[in-house]
Amino acid sequence: MYRFGIDLGGTKIEILALDATGQERHRERVATPRNDYAETVAAIVRLVRDAEGRLGGSGSVGIAAPGAISQLTGRIKNANSTCLNGRPLLEDLQQQLQREIRIANDANCFALSEATDGAAAGGAVVFGVILGTGVGGGVVVNGRLLTGANAIAGEWGHNPLPVFLPDAGELPGAECYCGKRGCIETWLSGPGLAKHFEQATGRTFTAEQIVAQSPADAQCEAALQAYEDRLARSLAGVVNILDPDVIVLGGGLSAVARWYDTVPRLWGRYVFSDAITTRLVPPRFGAASGARGAAWLWRDEITQTRIDP
Ligand SMILES: [Zn+2]
């Protein structure tokens, strides 16, 4: 028996197979069919059948999907790959692959992967953070993914940025696609960092370029110092509520080595505790964590929140 995990992304669909010991045995990726739901389902089915053919065995299937899965209907909501929204992805895949399937949000799968056998393994309470095109998160408690009553546990990216000095130029904040202003995502996503840098300096840089040019370039360095303080403030809000043992960063901006040193020094100002033992760590599996976490949705020894058709 294998555990198949599928990362359904906006540009690619990746399948990964773990054997009984958790070792990776197969990996393949294809381009995501553009805005075509039926083709997307067919591509997933082909990837599973192809993997089973190559490995000569069957297994469980878990899917990491964008957006959230409605607890009521099992249908996708809030996905940036909009052709998925409102579609019975779970039902259609179960019918075509003739087995029970589990689907979870991609940030949740990242958190589950890193908490199971990644950088946060052994942590009782783990908060997994995505700092990429968007900002998301997932919560794992004692090895169990916390889905939540509304299937949004960990979605800190659409909380407002904590602002302690109203004159610091952070209010009211930029408009967010969710309909509010000043969401954490508008500050801490890669595009958010680039946008604020352009507003402050008139220079059009990507987040990657800003990181690469600091500390030599004073304006890039100032932007990263502001970013890491905002990250510390935002994570302090999570620490005050969840008090995690480990916070693991993922997404493109998790590759910035300085955060793991600067942010824990800065968050002491904002966390409501004299001492803070929470560890901030880089990911072990990085981009592979979506598919790995999806595979671990079928870890037998833990009970997962299951979405029935
Ligand atoms: Zn928002």
pLDDT tens track for 176-194: 988 999 999 999 999 999 9
Q: How far is the CA of 172 from the centre of ligand 1 (A)?
A: 13
Specify the higher pLDDT residue, 186 or 303.
186
Cα–Cα distance between 156 and 64 in angstroms, integer? 19
Measured in Å, residue 160 CA sits from the centre of ligand 1 at 8
Give the model's pLDDT for residue 303: 40
Ligand 1 center to residue 80 CA distance, Å?
Answer: 13
CA of 174 to the centre of ligand 1 (A): 9
Residue 206 dihedral angles phi and psi, to the nearest 5°: -80, 165
Q: 0.75 cut: is pTM over it?
A: yes
Crossing angle of the two packed helices 37-55 and 89-97, in degrees rounded to 10: 40
- Across 132-244, the runs of DSSP E, i.e. the strands, are 135-141, 144-146
Question: Comparing C-alpha atoms, which of 106, 108, 118 is closest to residue 246?
Answer: 118
Expressed in angstroms and rounded, the spacing between residue 25 Cα and the centre of ligand 1 is: 39
Confidence of residue 118 (pLDDT cuts 50, 70, 90): very high
* Higher pLDDT, residue 94 or 301: 94
Residue 305 confidence (pLDDT): 42
DSSP lists the bridge partners of residue 250 as 130
Residue 225: band (very low, low, confident or very high) from pLDDT cuts 50, 70, 90: very high
The Cα–Cα gap between 194 and 210 comes to 8
DSSP bridge pairs for 279: 246
pLDDT at 23: 94
How remote is the CA of residue 8 from the centroid of ligand 1, in Å? 22
302 pLDDT above the threshold of 70: no
The answer to whether 161 touches 182, Cβ cutoff 8 Å, is yes
User: At how many degrees (to 10) do helices 218-242 and 259-266 cross?
Assistant: 60
Q: What angle do CA 233, 237, 242 make, to 5 degrees?
A: 140
pLDDT at 71: 73
**Cα 170 to middle of ligand 1, angstroms:** 15
Tens digit of pLDDT for each residue in 226-281? Answer: 999 999 999 999 999 999 999 999 999 999 999 999 999 999 999 999 999 999 99
Residue of 158, 155, 196, 149 lying closest to 178 (CA atoms): 158
Tens digit of each residue's pLDDT (9 = 90 or more) over 21-64: 999 999 999 999 988 999 999 999 999 999 999 999 999 999 99
Give the Å distance between the CA of 157 and the centre of ligand 1.
Answer: 7
* Greater pLDDT, 202 or 75: 202
Rg, Å, the chain Cα set: 20
Angle at 129 between CA 210 and CA 281, to 5 degrees: 80
Going from the Cα of 161 to the center of ligand 1, the distance in angstroms, rounded, reads: 10
Q: What is the pLDDT of residue 178?
A: 86
- Tell me the per-residue pLDDT of 50-104, one tens digit each, with 9 for 90 and over: 999 999 999 999 999 988 878 777 788 877 777 888 999 999 999 999 999 999 9
Residue 203 tokens, joined = 């220079």
Centroid of ligand 1 to alpha carbon of 232 (angstroms)? 19
Cβ 210 vs Cβ 220: under 8 Å? yes
pLDDT of residue 31: 95
Bridge-based pairing state of the strands 246-250 and 279-281: parallel
What is the 158 CA–ligand 1 centroid distance (Å)? 4
Q: What's the gap in Å between 188 CA and the centre of ligand 1?
A: 12
Residue 301 has pLDDT above 60, yes or no: no
Phi, psi of 290 (to 5 degrees): -60, -50
